[in-house]
Amino acid sequence: MVKPCPRDRFFAMEKPFYQKLIPVTILVSLLAFMTAMAMSTPRNNPFLTEDGHPIAELEFRDGQMGFVGISGITWTILPNGTCQASRFINDTVSSPHQRCQLEQQDLVMLANILSDRDFADLPSEIPSEPTLNPHRLTIRLGEKSSTLVLPTGQSIENVLTTLHNQPETPRSRFLTIAQAIDRLVRQHCGDN
């Protein structure tokens, strides 16, 4: 009679464990996937349509007051994910000089930030200290818009750093939304 090798007994004991582990792993993965899908469903977000697209065109305008008035760049994100940049001076907007395409998950992420930071309740003008040659930011979604004025040379990141660990205000909510839009367009479209 041949004695079984200790290694064979080890693998014989291990096999049922792995046979049980595979279905559990599949079940956990399936539940995680379903949870992730449920969290990003448009039904819970007033800024998304039923098919998961933004309810309207989103515009982010970043301008600086100067000799000719206010000039800068406006980023427009269409509901289909097309993102385009145009230069502007006062009310004159040039043809888009740059285009890129955002992913569906980017559009959902933007809508989630708009919802989380309660964009719909931001005032149309967020009170700011008067300043010479201000840095003016505007976010518009459909008919709703909100504008914040920063001192000359102030960036979104600099101001958010100073507001860190302070209670949430319309100013901090606006800047959080503006930072998310700015990072997203820079990531997909570049810095121009």
Identify the pLDDT of residue 38: 47
Say if 156 falls within a structural domain: yes
Residue 107 and residue 22 share a domain: no
Q: What CATH number does residue 170 fall under?
A: 3.30.1560
The boundaries of the domain holding residue 151 are: 58-189
29-33, 46-50, 77-81, 171-175: least confident range: 29-33
Residue 93 and residue 166 share a domain: yes
Contacts of 88 (CB under 8 A, 6+ apart): 61, 63, 71, 72, 73, 74, 94
Residue 64 and residue 19 share a domain: no
Model-level pTM? 0.74
What's the domain count of the chain?
2
Q: Is the pLDDT of residue 64 over 60?
A: yes
Q: Is the pLDDT of residue 85 over 60?
A: yes
Identify the pLDDT of residue 33: 47
SS3 of residue 150 by DSSP: strand
Average pLDDT, the chain: 82
Say if 48 falls within a structural domain: no
Lookup result for tokens 């097309």: 82
